[in-house]
């Protein structure tokens, strides 16, 4: 009955039902159900954040474009002898390069950036020499290197999602095990 109730929760998503059914064959039903719940919660949070950005009139992109710099890495330019101030999303809202994407590890969050900080007069928080090699330019990398980097990043993301889904399931297993009055036979 518990398995049917878990499937009923995802009646509106046939792909999720198929993944849960396949996981049940390998006795991983609880894990897959938690994974699907996490994915659904993250998707709902991303939709909410996207609507928040649209309501505020902020330019939204799926990811930070090449050449753009996150606001946490920028400071307002200052005259000699003055301290450079931190750039907040509210202070940066009037900049023509003001934009955001939804990212972050774990729970989705809004990450603001400036599309072209040099053109719009922002300074870098940590000025350093830029690497002189051409590998810092993603256009100069080979297609194979780009594909390998993309695949490696996908594996990290999938591993992080799996780790997050496994936590509550392991916690429930250990709680049930520790609540027993007698040890298991084996």
In 3D space, the residue among 165, 67, 64, 157 whose CA is nearest the CA of residue 110 turns out to be 64
Backbone angles phi, psi at 110, to 5 degrees: -85, 130
Residue 31 has pLDDT above 50, yes or no: yes
Residue 100 is inside which H or E element, if any? strand 98-103
Q: Rounded CA gap, 13 and 34, in Å?
A: 15
Is 44 within the bounds of a domain?
Answer: no
- The share of the chain scoring above pLDDT 70, in percent, equals 88
Task: Please write down the HEC assignment for all residues of 118-182.
Answer: CCCCCEECCCCCCCCCHHHCHHHCCHHHHHHHHHHHHHHHHHHHHHHHHHHHHHHHHHHHHCCCC
Backbone angles phi, psi at 138, to 5 degrees: -65, -25
Is 165 within the bounds of a domain?
Answer: no
Q: Kindly give, in sequence order, each residue whose CB lies less than 8 Å from that of residue 53, ignoring residues fewer than 6 positions away.
A: 60, 100, 102, 110
Residue 182 has pLDDT above 80, yes or no: yes
Residue 37 has pLDDT above 80, yes or no: yes
pLDDT (tens digit, 9 = 90+) per residue, 76-131?
766 555 566 788 899 888 999 999 999 877 789 999 999 998 888 888 887 664 44
- The domain in which residue 64 lies consists of 58-128
Is 96 within the bounds of a domain?
Answer: yes
Any idea which residue has 């003055």 for tokens? 82
pLDDT (tens digit, 9 = 90+) per residue, 12-25?
999 999 998 898 88
Is 141 within the bounds of a domain?
Answer: no
Handedness of CA 115, 73, 155, 140 (dihedral sign): positive
pLDDT (tens digit, 9 = 90+) per residue, 71-81?
988 887 665 55
Is 66 within the bounds of a domain?
Answer: yes
Residue 75 and residue 86 in contact, taking contact as beta carbons nearer than 8 Å: yes
3-class DSSP state for residue 91?
Answer: helix
pLDDT (tens digit, 9 = 90+) per residue, 38-54?
999 999 999 999 999 99
Give me the number of domains the chain comprises: 1
Residue 136 has pLDDT above 80, yes or no: no
Is 75 within the bounds of a domain?
Answer: yes
Residue 133: the pLDDT is 42
- The share of the chain scoring above pLDDT 90, in percent, equals 27
Mean pLDDT of the chain: 83
Is 88 within the bounds of a domain?
Answer: yes
70-79, 155-164, 173-182: least confident range = 70-79
Is 69 within the bounds of a domain?
Answer: yes
In 3D space, the residue among 16, 121, 140, 109 whose CA is nearest the CA of residue 78 turns out to be 121
What 8-state DSSP symbol labels residue 67? T
């Amino acid at each position: 009955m518990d398995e049917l109730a878990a499937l009923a929760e995802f009646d509106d998503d046939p792909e999720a039902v198929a993944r849960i059914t396949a996981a049940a064959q390998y006795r991983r039903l609880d894990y897959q159900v938690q994974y699907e719940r996490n994915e659904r919660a993250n998707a709902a949070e991303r939709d909410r954040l996207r609507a928040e950005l649209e309501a505020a009139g902020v330019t939204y992109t799926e990811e930070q474009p090449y050449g753009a710099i996150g606001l946490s890495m920028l400071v307002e330019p200052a005259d000699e002898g003055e301290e450079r101030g931190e750039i907040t999303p509210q202070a940066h809202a009037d900049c023509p390069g003001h934009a955001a994407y939804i990212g972050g590890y774990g729970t989705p969050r809004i990450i603001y950036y400036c599309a072209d900080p040099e053109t719009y007069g922002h300074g870098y928080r940590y000025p350093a020499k830029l690497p002189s090699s051409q590998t810092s330019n993603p256009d100069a990398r080979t297609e194979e290197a780009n594909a390998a980097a993309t695949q490696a990043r996908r594996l990290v993301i999938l591993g992080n999602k799996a780790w997050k889904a496994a936590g509550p399931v392991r916690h429930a297993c250990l709680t049930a095990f520790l609540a027993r009055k007698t040890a298991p036979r084996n």
